[in-house]
């Protein structure tokens, strides 16, 4: 699957998506990265729009019930 | 024992474990007030249905998934707003609601169903790798160990799943104009 055109066609979306997925992996951004994200978000309304949209897509993917056995962190034991 | 939960609706399972689920939220967001709002939002979403054709295999685990997801997203949006606030000087930033409105949840369910369908077109192992990454909070290396394949392959699979998600962004029926 060649998606090389994808990033070049919409660099704002690609950047927004990269930030959202990076936040998922790193939980907490290092201060200089957080600053970079803040500056990027504030630079253009299109940036924060794309970031909100990417964030929503990412969040809603987290509501889909899994088809495989995934241990959800912190899940209480079903013991009753 | 899971069987005890099988005859219950998600809403009933949630209520039976409300205190534990609330503490999951509190651990993530810190304050009791916000944890309460998140717990309530999660309950409404679960009681109204998740929007997909999937059967929920592990109801309590799924309740926890929903609570965590709302709590984590709340933290992400809160830090996002804090960042905007620092770098713009128009002062007034409206208070961010913790809970979604009924209409918002309805819109969300439509998008959740579309995401489920999109993920359903992926090979089984690819979807599993993505679920471990997105829901199980495992690193790609941990997923590789779990699935008995290389980290490179996991990286490809996770990227494939992400591209599938990203392709939905142009759907006007889901995102408006």
Window 44-63 of B: residues touching A by CB (8 A cutoff) are 45, 50-52, 54-62
pLDDT digits (tens, 9 = 90+) for A46-57: 999 999 999 999
Which A positions 8-67 lie with beta carbon below 8 A of chain B?
13, 17, 21, 23-25, 34, 37-39, 41-42, 48, 51-67
Distance from CA of A8 to the nearest CA of B (A): 14
Q: Answer whether B136 sits within 8 Å of A59, measured CB to CB.
A: no
Cβ(B161)–Cβ(B127) below 8 Å:
yes
Q: Sorting pLDDT into bands at 50, 70 and 90, what band is B85?
A: low
Predicted TM-score (pTM) of the model is: 0.89
Q: Residue B140: what pLDDT? A: 95
ipTM of the complex: 0.90
B33 in A contact zone (CB under 8 Å): no
**Per-residue pLDDT averaged across B63-81, rounded?**
90
Q: Give the integer Cα–Cα distance in Å for B33 and B37.
A: 6
The nearest CA of chain B is from the CA of A3 a distance in Å of 8
What is the Cα Rg of chain A in Å?
Answer: 16
Contacts of B132 in chain A (CB under 8 A): 68, 70
Q: What is the DSSP string of B64-103?
A: HHHHHHHHHHHHHHHHHHHHHHHH------PPPPSSPPHH
pLDDT at position B4: 56
Residues of B in contact with A3 (CB under 8 A): 163
Residues 6+ apart with CB under 8 A from B106: none
d(CA B132, CA B6): 24
Region at B139 (left for phi over 0; alpha for psi -120 to 50; beta for the rest): beta
Residues of chain A scoring pLDDT < 70? 1-8, 79-80
CB of A74 within 8 Å of any CB in chain B? yes
**Region B14-32 average pLDDT:** 96
**Under an 8 A CB cutoff, do A66 and B131 touch?**
yes
Q: B114 to chain A, minimum CA–CA distance in Å?
A: 10
Q: How confident is the model at residue B175 (pLDDT cuts 50, 70, 90)?
A: confident
If you measure CA to CA, which chain A residue comes closest to B88?
Answer: A42
B170, two tokens: 């142009």
Chain A touched by B64 (CB under 8 Å): yes
User: Looking at CA atoms only, how far is residue B134 from chain A in angstroms?
Assistant: 7
For residue B66, pLDDT over 90 is answered with yes
């Amino acid at each position: 699957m060649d998606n090389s055109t994808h990033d070049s066609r919409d660099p704002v979306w690609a950047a927004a998506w990269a930030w959202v997925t990076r936040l998922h992996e790193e939980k907490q951004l290092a201060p200089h990265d957080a600053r970079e994200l803040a500056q990027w978000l504030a630079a253009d309304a299109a940036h924060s729009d794309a970031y909100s949209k990417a964030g929503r897509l990412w969040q809603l993917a987290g509501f889909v019930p899994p088809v495989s056995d995934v241990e959800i962190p912190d899940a209480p034991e079903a013991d009753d | 024992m899971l069987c005890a939960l099988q005859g219950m609706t998600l809403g009933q399972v949630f209520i039976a474990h409300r205190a534990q689920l609330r503490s999951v939220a509190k651990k993530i967001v810190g304050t009791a007030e916000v944890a309460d709002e998140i717990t309530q939002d999660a309950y409404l979403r679960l009681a109204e249905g998740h929007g997909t054709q999937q059967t929920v295999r592990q109801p309590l685990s799924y309740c926890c998934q929903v609570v965590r997801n709302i709590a984590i997203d709340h933290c992400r949006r809160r830090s996002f707003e804090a960042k905007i606030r620092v770098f713009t000087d128009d002062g007034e930033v409206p208070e961010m609601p913790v809970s979604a409105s009924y209409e918002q949840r309805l819109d969300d369910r439509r998008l959740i169903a579309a995401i489920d369908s999109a993920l359903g077109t992926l090979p089984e192992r690819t979807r599993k790798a993505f679920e471990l990454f997105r829901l199980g909070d495992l690193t790609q290396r941990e997923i590789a160990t779990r699935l008995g394949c290389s980290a490179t392959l996991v990286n490809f699979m996770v990227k494939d799943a992400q591209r599938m998600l990203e392709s939905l962004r142009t759907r006007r029926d889901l995102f408006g104009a």
